[in-house]
Amino acid sequence: MANPEHTFIAIKPHGLMGEIIKCYEQKGFLLVAMKFLRAPEEHLRQHYIDLKDQSFFPGLVKYMNSGNVMAMEHYSWQ
């Protein structure tokens, strides 16, 4: 198979996870790694650095840090 595209997908805290994971599989994404974890605040600030000047940035970081996220890596072939 040709080289796959790698995609990072994070599911936000306090929601249902199963349907979202299933949806990506049905679209042809292959799940190759997943981790259920509380993302450190500093890591989230770096992840969303492009949005740092937006008014919603502090709230976004706070919410993402308020519980566990499902962090996933998928492969896909176009």
Ligand X SMILES: CC(C)=CCC/C(C)=C/COP(=O)(O)OP(=O)(O)O
The piece of 14-22, 23-31, 52-60, 64-72 that touches ligand X (CB under 6 A) is 64-72
Task: Report the length, in residues, of the chain.
Answer: 78
Q: Does 70 bind ligand X (CB under 6 A)?
A: no
Q: Does 17 bind ligand ATP (CB under 6 A)?
A: no
Binds ligand ATP by CB under 6 A, chosen from 17, 34, 60, 70: 60
- Judged by beta carbon, residue 23 or residue 37, the one nearer ligand X is 37
- CA torsion sign for 60, 20, 67, 14 is positive
Distance CA 67, CA 1 (A): 37
Residue 14 Ramachandran class (φ > 0 left, ψ -120 to 50 alpha, else beta) = left
Compute how many residues bind ligand ATP; rule: CB under 6 A.
3
